């Protein structure tokens, strides 16, 4: 049976767009809701333009009351009845209670080769460490931040004059390839990991 997917965003939603655009034809899932914690998130308009129902639950009025914020999120999810939640640039930390409710049904994309660089500023941290490879990971969400079984990784080279911005710009298109590839398998119950590697190499392979 076709799986119903809700996508949670906080910003531009480029990963959300990649996921939505992938769920056509014989894909085993369909998007049913794009939900943001920021009513101004640019991704909401992109989802609406694609005919996907959208909703926003502004986290700010809830202050430190994460449970009340999540109750409001859950109310939107109850209306949409998703089978799978995809966090796609959703920048709020979720409580263990919320995560338990979605146990085994929630995915996240993180811009590092986990278990390296959980949390923020992943590109700058990879550069500071002198890594020669960097990338992104899709993982199942468990209560520990950016933890949980890795379902896919995409690797890019770190090039000599990279800044955090140039590295982020190299990783992002790989995110857009990786997340849909993982979701497609996940929606059929296939948890075997997906591995992608960008065509770029350094030094160039013909050097």
Task: Give the footprint of ligand GAR on this chain (CB under 6 A).
Answer: 9, 11-15, 43, 88-89, 109-111, 136, 172, 175
The nearest distance, CB 6 to ligand GAR, in angstroms, is 15
- Two tokens, residue 104: 């085994």
Residue among 88 and 106 whose Cβ is closer to ligand GAR: 88
Residue among 111 and 157 whose Cβ is closer to ligand GAR: 111
Helices then strands, counting H and E runs in the chain, come out as 6, 8
Pick from 75, 193, 188, 99: nearest CA to 139: 193
Would you please indicate which residues are annotated as catalytic (active-site) residues? Answer: 110
The residue of the chain with the least Cβ separation from ligand GAR equals 89
- Two tokens, residue 132: 């020669």
The nearest distance, CB 154 to ligand GAR, in angstroms, is 11
The nearest distance, CB 67 to ligand GAR, in angstroms, is 21
**What phi, psi does 151 have (nearest 5°)?**
-105, -5
**CB within 8 A of 197, min separation 6: which ones?**
154, 155, 156
Is residue 126 within 8 A of residue 112, CB to CB? The reply is yes
The nearest distance, CB 14 to ligand GAR, in angstroms, is 3
Question: Exposed, middle or buried: residue 62 (CB in 10 Å: 0-12, 13-18, 19+)?
Answer: middle
Alpha-carbon distances of 67 from 15, 16, 70, 147, rounded to whole Å: 26, 25, 5, 21
Residue among 70 and 175 whose Cβ is closer to ligand GAR: 175
């Amino acid at each position: 049976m076709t799986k119903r997917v809700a996508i949670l965003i906080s910003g531009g939603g480029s990963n959300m767009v990649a996921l939505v655009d992938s769920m056509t034809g014989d894909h085993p899932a369909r998007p049913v809701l794009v939900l943001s914690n920021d009513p101004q998130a640019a991704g909401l308009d992109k989802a609406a333009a694609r005919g996907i129902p959208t909703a926003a639950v502004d986290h700010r009025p809830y202050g430190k009351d994460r449970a009340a914020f999540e109750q409001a999120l859950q109310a939107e999810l109850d209306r949409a009845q998703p089978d799978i939640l995809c966090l796609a640039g959703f920048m709020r930390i979720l409580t263990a209670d919320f995560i338990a409710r979605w146990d085994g049904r929630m995915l996240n994309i993180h811009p590092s080769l986990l278990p390296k660089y959980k949390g923020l500023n992943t590109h700058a941290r990879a550069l500071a460490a002198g890594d020669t490879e960097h990338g992104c990971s899709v993982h199942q969400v468990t209560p520990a931040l950016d933890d949980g079984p890795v379902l896919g990784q995409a690797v890019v080279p770190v090039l000599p004059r990279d800044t955090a911005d140039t590295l982020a710009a190299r990783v992002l298109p790989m995110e857009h390839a990786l997340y849909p590839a993982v979701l497609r398998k996940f929606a059929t119950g296939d948890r075997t990991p997906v591995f992608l590697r960008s065509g770029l190499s350094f030094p160039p392979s013909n050097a």
